[in-house]
A and B are shown apart, each in its own frame.
Chain A
């Protein structure tokens, strides 16, 4: 066991994957000497050389498209997208090529590409540097999408993503890069499944589902709620596509209430998918309509106002109060017939 930051844990995971398999190569802008703008690849080019840690020309479609060719050739490319908002030039290659080649070739061609995306807000950056584009990719079949929330998962799951024969989008919550935690580097990545959700805190009153940057916030909300006698079960999805609905379902059957929170905008977001799927699966167990606490349906705002857009502990607790029909910010909005609205 050692203590390391979330960012260092990814570095350690990359290093181990590269040690274990010479076919693993890294590609991206500024990942060599600079070690990436977040320094996640720090030192790797020095140790593995410029042929395995490749500074790419400034062209995301080019990076992704050549990664496809490298994968055809038997490599396992790990691509770094510098910031969430810069993945769009590569979008066509990801959704039309990376995601579909296995299907298109009846399984003959594998695309074991890992796409690392620092994502989410909270660091006071200019536009295009704080977005949560995960839903664009969870909507595309053939891609696996994961998001990590703690150093141990970061370490293990990057290796699992690289080992996966399917393409994996690996979303790294950039505002958590400096959070420290225990990491067991001896753990065998094959011994666990990145597709399985993790119950972060046990509880009986409300199921709170989240992933990535909001996992620590959700855990804090559970602690704060317990002071009010409310018992929240917090679930970190880890895998966003496919979603481990069995774990969420089991929890909601127990609690009868579901709150989903994410930074991404509400409409068409993962919260909508989870709310709909859980309603289908657990309708008879639900005491209240699922509640979403999300970013607004707006372009990511400028930094002075980003903390209004991002769900925080108070907004999550307000959503929990709604699910429990406790006094909340929307209490005055009950429907004329006396039933209560589901809130926003």
Chain B
């Protein structure tokens, strides 16, 4: 075993290439057009910068459209806060916050067409919001009431994946199906920086490149995989891995909603026109814990959080809107009212969710009846019935 300190230790910033810190826990300074490889249209001070390549892709985004993106981000941040509160109040077993990742999810999610199909991980609640999810469906799994929240075909979004990276293969296969069908929709896989270490993600890139599948690999590099810094997963910027598989890639400021929209649109256009897969690395930051069960103070420096709070995706858009005279009280009041209404609907949906029945555990194991299981169900129902008093409570 190497004892010479060359391995990436915990907290290592990795990066054999000084120009582009992969595992760095600090984003390169505000990137101006062409200043480095990070696509950025709105910097952290809320200043809109021209970009030779990507401006054209968002030329249609006028003031009203920017306001809509802002509203989306406020609403999903509110969903996040409400769900976190519900967890603290004992109404949810667990919750994975997306705080800080609103721009990456809204920017990419709002670029998609209804017939595109999303394969996500567990943190993409803002993407589900973009897909038009029934709000309470977001909470069903976390409340422990069901194994999945929605029928994937109703919103064209697969049930969220917990096995890290598995969904990238599913997205690729779906995209291969799109090609066979001669359609022009696109599959999008969302995953984290940690996931890029998994074999599945690397195999997905092999398949996607070999079959030129219309799939977007949308990696949210939020700098942490639970307690592990991104430097432990990647020694060079993650986006640089894809070209080795023959997949074009782009690194985007994941806290800039407009830039995320632009690069996703570019990738979608490539996929729809037969140009195959694209890998997007959205450089962002998880400002909350990994889940409500996590304790980031054990591994994360408070200064780092402060650095990133200064790059907050909502604040910068608010500043830009303000500078454009688009943050009038009437507008912000309506955004707040919308967020309040969504939060109230979410809470109500959570609290009024019907409790599952014991025999539900036997449902949907197979699509055709199975005599082994029928027998187990029958015996268990007899067992429950044998509790004369309080049969609905079941066993202790």
Given the known inter-chain contacts A55-B227, A312-B396, A315-B395, please indicate yes or no for A330 contacting B382, CB distance below 8 A.
yes
The complex places the Cα of A56 from the Cα of B383 at a distance, in Å, of: 46
Interface residues of A in 306-323 (CB under 8 A from B): 307-309, 312-315, 318
The complex places the Cα of A183 from the Cα of B354 at a distance, in Å, of: 45
> A30 to chain B: which residues have CB within 8 Å?
226-228
> B380 to chain A: which residues have CB within 8 Å?
296, 308, 344
The smallest beta-carbon distance between A288 and chain B, in angstroms, is 17
B144-178 Cβ-contact flags toward A at 8 Å (1 or 0): 11110000000000000011100000000000000
Given the known inter-chain contacts A124-B144, A298-B362, A298-B365, please indicate yes or no for A70 contacting B9, CB distance below 8 A.
no
> A298 to chain B: which residues have CB within 8 Å?
361-362, 365, 373
A75 at the interface (CB under 8 A from B): yes
B303 at the interface (CB under 8 A from A): no
The smallest beta-carbon distance between A83 and chain B, in angstroms, is 9
A343 at the interface (CB under 8 A from B): yes
A329 near B382: Cβ-Cβ < 8 Å: yes
A29 near B226: Cβ-Cβ < 8 Å: yes
The smallest beta-carbon distance between A244 and chain B, in angstroms, is 29
A302 near B227: Cβ-Cβ < 8 Å: no
B358 near A308: Cβ-Cβ < 8 Å: yes
Residue from B141, B375, B383, B396 in contact with A126 in the complex, judged by beta carbons closer than 8 Å: B141
> B395 to chain A: which residues have CB within 8 Å?
307-308, 312, 314-315
State the interface size on chain A (CB cutoff 8 A): 58
> A126 to chain B: which residues have CB within 8 Å?
93-94, 122, 141-142, 144, 162
A297 at the interface (CB under 8 A from B): yes
A97 at the interface (CB under 8 A from B): no
Given the known inter-chain contacts A302-B145, A330-B379, please indicate yes or no for A307 contacting B394, CB distance below 8 A.
yes
A265-303 Cβ-contact flags toward B at 8 Å (1 or 0): 011000000000000000000000000000011110111
> B47 to chain A: which residues have CB within 8 Å?
none
B128-153 Cβ-contact flags toward A at 8 Å (1 or 0): 00000000000001111111000000
Segment of B73-81, B192-200, B211-219 in the binding face: B192-200
A50 at the interface (CB under 8 A from B): yes
A33 near B227: Cβ-Cβ < 8 Å: yes
> A343 to chain B: which residues have CB within 8 Å?
379
> A312 to chain B: which residues have CB within 8 Å?
395-396
> A309 to chain B: which residues have CB within 8 Å?
361
B17 at the interface (CB under 8 A from A): no
The complex places the Cα of A50 from the Cα of B6 at a distance, in Å, of: 12
> A297 to chain B: which residues have CB within 8 Å?
365, 372-373, 376
CB closest chain-A residue, reference B385:
A329
CB closest chain-B residue, reference A61:
B199
A117-152 Cβ-contact flags toward B at 8 Å (1 or 0): 000000011111100000000000000000000000
The smallest beta-carbon distance between A262 and chain B, in angstroms, is 15
A85 at the interface (CB under 8 A from B): yes
The smallest beta-carbon distance between B203 and chain A, in angstroms, is 11
> B358 to chain A: which residues have CB within 8 Å?
305, 308
A308 near B1: Cβ-Cβ < 8 Å: no
B112 at the interface (CB under 8 A from A): no
The complex places the Cα of A126 from the Cα of B146 at a distance, in Å, of: 10
B365 near A299: Cβ-Cβ < 8 Å: yes
Residue from B3, B93, B143, B362 in contact with A296 in the complex, judged by beta carbons closer than 8 Å: B362
Interface residues of A in 68-86 (CB under 8 A from B): 70, 73, 75, 85-86
Interface residues of B in 349-396 (CB under 8 A from A): 355-356, 358, 360-362, 365, 372-373, 375-377, 379-380, 382-383, 385-386, 394-396
CB closest chain-B residue, reference A70:
B1
A59 near B199: Cβ-Cβ < 8 Å: yes
B331 at the interface (CB under 8 A from A): no
Interface residues of A in 26-42 (CB under 8 A from B): 29-30, 32-35, 37
Given the known inter-chain contacts A34-B298, A50-B9, A89-B198, please indicate yes or no for A305 contacting B375, CB distance below 8 A.
no
The smallest beta-carbon distance between B301 and chain A, in angstroms, is 11
A304 near B144: Cβ-Cβ < 8 Å: yes
Given the known inter-chain contacts A127-B147, A308-B394, please indicate yes or no for A296 contacting B1, CB distance below 8 A.
no
A335 at the interface (CB under 8 A from B): no
B232 at the interface (CB under 8 A from A): yes
B269 at the interface (CB under 8 A from A): no
A-B contacts, 13 of them at CB < 8 A, read A34-B227, A34-B298, A51-B7, A85-B162, A86-B163, A86-B164, A126-B94, A126-B142, A267-B372, A296-B376, A301-B360, A312-B396, A343-B379
For the complex of A and B, the 10 pairs showing the least CB-CB separation, nearest first, are A303-B144, A34-B227, A58-B194, A57-B197, A329-B383, A329-B386, A59-B197, A33-B299, A344-B379, A301-B361
